[in-house]
Amino acid sequence: MRLLVAEGKVRDDSRRIADSVGATPSQRYADVLSLLAPDAEIDICTPADAAPDLPKPLEAYHGVVVTGSALNIYKREPGSLRQIDFLRETFSRGIPIFGSCWGLQLAAVVAGGEVGPNPRGREVAFARKITLTDAGRAHSMHEHRAMCFDAPAIHGDEVIRLPDSAIVTAWNEMSAIQAAEIKYERGTFWGVQYHPEYDLVDITKTVERYGMRLVQEGFFADSNGLNSYVQDLSALRANQARRDILWKMGLGADLLEPEKRTREIANWIGHKARPFASRG
């Protein structure tokens, strides 16, 4: 089985992430895929850039995964337009696709939907009380998920209109579309607005990078509140048994246990990528 991770960020943005976390988002995502599918061959490409560096022809892959991004797709920047073309070709070849955050927004636009700024504002660090729809409870993407759960998240945009071919499988008070299946041309996309690939390292570094913007947006009263939150996240990374922090932040196994946190990715591998690979 060969999987391709498509970096959603342009090169300069991905390098900034690497300086902070130690790896680009696509490299971090590839590491998660390697844990979930140790037998898979995993490559990375950068379709937002003029030279996407596709290691093999697209048809050589049995699944494509799209990471998050700092781009706003409605601005129609070159990095967005290149990714629209890339994903449209992936759909046309019938290759299974999974996407987190930007990946969901990108797939929705490719298939005829619309993305815009979330009128409720930014969802940051954790998406709370994500709830499966009736369709979601029966959908293989959420197999073994609780009906209501929390997940890592960071986004200011959201899908505001899905294409007719789409099924909403999860929602919460911040976004009516937290997860969806989208069919387009020969392909099927499974995706989520949250980040099941993120662990506490990613979440902590994300809050640090956004920094004073989160104070300005009202998430923290001042820089002391921001710093205290980051310190708590850092302490929890060092010791996930810190009951005081778990209680204060309201965190549970759905966020802290990798098997539960990455459930949608694992289900996509098992239900979509592996069967596609078995066809030869």
* Catalytic residue annotation: 101, 195, 197
Query: 11-21 vs 200-210: helix axis angle to the nearest 10?
Result: 110
The two structure tokens encoding residue 92: 């046309």
DSSP per-residue string spanning 185-249: TTEEEEEESS-TT--HHHHHHHHHHHTHHHHHTTSSSSHHHHHHHHHHHHHHHH-TT-HHHHHHH
In terms of Cα–Cα distance, which of 268, 258, 266, 262 is closest to 63?
268
| CA distance linking residue 125 with residue 151, whole number of Å | 8
Residue with tokens 């922090």: 245
Residue 135 host element (H or E): helix 134-137
Q: Name the DSSP letter for residue 9.
A: S
Euclidean distance between the first and the last CA atom of the chain, given in angstroms as a whole number: 9
Q: How many CB atoms within 10 Å of residue 76?
A: 11
For residue 270, the one-letter residue type is G
Q: How many residues belong to the chain?
A: 280
β-strand 63-66 against 97-100: which pairing, if any?
parallel
Name 111's Cβ contacts closer than 8 Å, sequence gap at least 6: 91, 163, 165, 166, 182, 183, 184, 189
- Measured from the Cβ of residue 58, the count of other Cβ atoms closer than 10 Å reads 15
The closest of 106, 142, 152 to 257, measured between CA atoms, is: 152
